Amino acid sequence: MADYPILQEFTEEIYTCNRTRCGFCSVECPVFRVRRLETYASRGRMLAARGLLEGVLEPSAELQEVMDECLMCGYCQARCALHNMDIFASVRQELRTAGYSSPKHERTATKILEEGTLFDRPKPIRRVGTTPLYLGCAYQTKPHEVQTIVSVLEKVGIDPLISDEVCCSYIVGAVGFADEFESAQARFRQIYGPHLDGAILTVCPTCTATLHDEYNLAAKHALVAVAERLADMDLKPLDMRVTYHDPCHLGRMLGVIEEPRQILRALGIEVVEMEHHGTFSTCCGGGGGLLDVDRNLAIEVSKNRIRDAAAVGVDTIVTACPTCQPTLLRGAGRMANELGHFVDVLDLWELLDKALD
């Protein structure tokens, strides 16, 4: 047995997968749907993990590429009783320890650790209020979208407080930088310290899951708070027919599945479900750092999601994630000729703001 102390903690789970080989995880894996090679499905990656443990495989750039092309979306884990994502994160960590990691992931992690943000912020967004609202890196670069979110929250009686922020650093841990992730957490707690003991509203699904699961904070996605208050609101019905795309972290990992649909129905919108939805929704293509290392693969994944929407006869997708919306829009643009029409991708916050007017 080769010396991989982090990965060895999962030895029994890896062998359980290898013995069972059921394949429930592979059939609809978003990357497998594009690559059509089992190496890129969960079952194949589990075999690679076993190869490392047994010394049959050596750490290599090729193996690193295979692991980097995982969306870490959790679809396979939802189909399985094993901790697939923890295992894949451990493989990434072991490969990095052996000297194999993506230079692009290295640059991304370094930027977050040095600057405290994933994206450059033209001007930090701040707001005096009473209820802490953590925006996260993506929304800190989207002042118009934040204005819409704040408008909705104000209309339902929430007074958001936006204070100093640093990145939740999800991607640092997700791509195998475990020690650095711990130091990033320490910095987050120092900067966001005044709000750690109470409830925190969030808007980015990935940040929500990271603060809730990794930081053990009382993070609650703001759409849940809105859904709780909509019954008392005067709403302008929106005559639309849409499908809803569940962001992986919001739906599958946090269980916020019914609330967005409840909101859409309250707005007078007909919701048509895609084949893959709710817990078993498939990723937009923007998860796990894939956009950094293989943008073309990410777009191919997003194109399949657009096909899923077209298959149920709708031309509008609604979602609630600052990564999902632009990623799906890129896929929609490339699918327009094939489909003969453009499938639009709208933000749920925009619809809420319109209906609450």
Alpha helices in the chain (DSSP H): 5-8, 11-20, 30-35, 42-54, 61-68, 75-78, 84-97, 103-115, 137-140, 143-155, 170-174, 178-191, 205-209, 222-229, 248, 258-266, 290-293, 295-311, 324-339, 348-356
Q: pLDDT tens digits for the chain (357 residues)?
A: 678 999 999 999 999 999 988 888 877 899 999 999 999 999 999 999 999 999 999 999 999 999 999 999 999 999 998 999 999 999 999 999 999 999 999 999 999 999 999 998 878 899 999 999 999 999 999 999 999 999 999 999 999 999 999 999 999 988 888 889 999 999 999 999 999 999 999 999 999 999 999 999 999 999 999 999 998 888 999 999 999 999 999 999 999 999 999 999 999 999 999 999 999 999 999 999 999 999 999 999 999 999 999 999 999 999 999 999 999 999 999 999 999 999 999 999 999 999 997
Which of the four CATH numbers 3.30.310, 3.40.50, 3.30.70, 1.10.3470 does domain 131-226 have?
3.40.50
Strands 344-347 and 219-221, by their bridges, are unpaired
63-to-45, 94, 100, 132, 332 alpha-carbon distances in Å: 9, 11, 9, 42, 31
Backbone angles phi, psi at 278, to 5 degrees: 60, -135
148, two tokens: 């819409």
**Is the fold of 131-226 the same as that of 234-356?**
yes
pLDDT confidence of residue 123: 85
pLDDT confidence of residue 24: 81
CA angle 57, 37, 95 (to 5 degrees): 35
pLDDT confidence of residue 166: 95
State the CB neighbour count (10 A cutoff) for residue 9: 13
Backbone angles phi, psi at 125, to 5 degrees: -90, 130
pLDDT confidence of residue 1: 61
Q: What is the DSSP letter of 283?
A: P
213-to-23, 108, 176 alpha-carbon distances in Å: 28, 22, 17
pLDDT confidence of residue 141: 94
With a CB cutoff of 8 Å and minimum separation 6, the contacts of 321 are 204, 205, 206, 247, 249, 250, 284
Q: Where are the domains of the chain?
A: 5-101, 131-226, 234-356
On the 0-12 / 13-18 / 19+ scale of CB atoms within 10 A, 74 is buried
Asked if residues 113 and 184 have their Cβ atoms less than 8 Å apart, the reply is yes
Q: What is the amino acid identity at position 172?
A: V
Backbone angles phi, psi at 20, to 5 degrees: -80, -50
Q: pTM of the full predicted structure?
A: 0.95
Asked if residues 134 and 201 have their Cβ atoms less than 8 Å apart, the reply is yes
Maximum Cα–Cα distance across the chain = 64
CATH class of 234-356: alpha beta
pLDDT confidence of residue 81: 87
